Copies of this chain bind each other. A is one copy, B any other.
Amino acid sequence: MLGNYQIDRQAMPEHAQSTSTVALAEQLAAEITRRIESGGLRPGERLPSVREAARSRGISTFTVSDAYQRLTTRGLLVARRGAGYFVAPPLGRPREALPALSTLPIDDDWLLSRIYQRDPSILYAGCGWLPDHWYDRDANSAAMRSIARRKAPFHPYGDPQGYEPLRREIARGLCTQHLHVGADQVLMTQGASKALDMVACTLAEPGDTVLIDEPGYCNLISCLRLRGFKPVGVPWNADGPDCERLATLLAQHKPRLFFSNPLLNNPSGASYTLSTAYRVMKLLDDAGCTLVEDNVAQPFHPAPPPPLCSLGGAERHVYIGSFSKSLAPGLRVGYVVASHERIERLLRYKMITGLTTPVLNEMLAMELAEAAGSRRQLNEAREALQEAQYVCQQRFEAAGWTLFARPAHGLFLLARPPHAAPVLAEQARDAGIVLAPGRLFSCDGSHADWWRFNVAYSRNSRLWDFLGTLRHK
């Protein structure tokens, strides 16, 4: 759409893409923008012709024409055929300010969406991502340059199932983790979140009861409810789901699906032991219930245990992974692994509801996964998280908080204050700190006294000063 209303005043010479010409045009465009914004050039005013401007500035007519066209695309100039370029009338309503984070009620919408509108003055102690500066921009730029250099085409729709070389790498990686699958059992998705939604919509029917970790992934609870499912929580202990309760719930609801995030669980940080894994898989297989294993935190574990699906197998169960959490959340590259028959159904769903996933992002994920810089970044993040877990756990216990589990790795730590603190999130919000209340991670409100902390942000003294003031109130 932006390409319209362009006037091609002259054929564009071969050097159109050269850096210096582009830079010069952008410089001229910036100068004109400043003059428009300062009022030096007024709406309706005619600009010097391309030829005049080129002569008076001693630059090529192409450069001037390119600058004018950029400004036309940006809505600052209008071109009138045969008459030249004019400063555009002020267009569009001014951008309305976003509601301040502090004025909004703390609900799932707040945690799912509002806190993504990053405000550098806020401490995101309850968020679900790593600090920006933990990611290696140089590695990211190098990966981009490498793809640009190869002129790897990113414009076609690409393979409906996702970039095949990446799917092959994923399958190989899973094989080393004892989950033996082929590349044709891997379907790329827009992040693990979309994978969870797709699996629910494809393998269950609206109205179905489905099981989910209690406490469990906030966004998944909202998503299941939005799609018309009835999520029921399977209570967790520090070593994974309570198998007795799981057995009862399986008998009671005969659910088709159990969504579980078994490693460095969101929100509790707890992980299955292999023995719990075995008992859970046995219960599920006996009940004919499919495990949907969301293993997105796996890259944060330096020596991850085999996934649960490696016990139950990908013919019966479903595995979900992601490059988002570890390498670059903004890439939105996740995947589902399942039986061929289920992959067919998921593929059909994917294409009908949004066509292919972007091949560029999948090429970049592959490039990053192999790059030395990214591997170093991931190692550093693992070590920093490990240390932060240790420090935060010490501090919480010293302050009298109870820990749900003692994770050695990963982002999350679930903790309960020594005294009930029903408005803690609101108090924190008013102090510029985002906290994540346990009730948002619960199907039945049973974890309302708990709080999810992201240890990557929780060593900050602002958090501890704030929690300290509470104790003295």
Contacts and interface: CB of A to CB of B under 8 A. Distances in A.
B180 A352 contact: no
Given A75-B176, A181-B92, A155 B352 contact: no
Nearest to A189: B354
> For this complex, into which size category does the number of interface residues on chain A fall?
35 or more
Interface stretch (A42-50, A164-172, A231-239, A399-407): A164-172
Given A172-B75, A326-B3, A148 B141 contact: yes
Contacts of A175: 75, 91-92
A53 interface: no
Contacts of A461: none
A329 interface: yes
Interface in A341-391: 347-349, 351-361, 364, 369-376, 378-379
Given A144-B147, A160-B113, A329 B173 contact: no
Given A1-B299, A12-B376, A330-B360, A92 B171 contact: yes
Contacts of A118: 156
A321 B1 contact: yes
B142 A17 contact: yes
A13 to B, nearest CB: 10
B375 A360 contact: no
A286 interface: no
Interface stretch (A130-138, A250-258, A410-418, A421-429): A130-138
Contacts of A172: 74-75, 91-92
A22 B332 CA distance: 26
Contacts of A183: 92, 95
A396 interface: no
A332 B353 contact: no
A315 to B, nearest CB: 12
A95 B157 contact: no
Interface in A81-99: 88, 91-96
A48 B348 CA distance: 47
A56 interface: no
A158 interface: yes
Contact of A157 (B17, B140, B329): B329
A117 interface: yes
Contacts of A364: 360
A180 B73 CA distance: 16
Contacts of A328: 154-155
Q: Taking chain A's interface residues, is the majority helix, strand, or loop, or is none over half, making it mixed?
A: helix
A12 to B, nearest CB: 5
Contact of A132 (B69, B153, B222): B153
Contact of A1 (B109, B147, B170): B170
B182 A3 contact: no
Contacts of A100: none
A261 interface: no
A364 B171 CA distance: 30
A310 interface: no
A291 to B, nearest CB: 18
Interface of A: 1-6, 8, 12, 16-17, 22, 66, 69-70, 73-75, 78, 88, 91-96, 109, 112-113, 116-118, 129, 132, 135, 137-142, 144-149, 151, 153-160, 168-177, 180-184, 190-191, 193-194, 197, 206, 219, 222-223, 226, 228, 295, 298-299, 301-304, 321, 323, 326-332, 340, 347-349, 351-361, 364, 369-376, 378-379
Given A3-B374, A156-B330, A331-B360, 12 more contacts: A2-B170, A2-B370, A3-B326, A3-B375, A4-B303, A12-B376, A73-B369, A74-B169, A92-B182, A95-B184, A141-B148, A141-B151
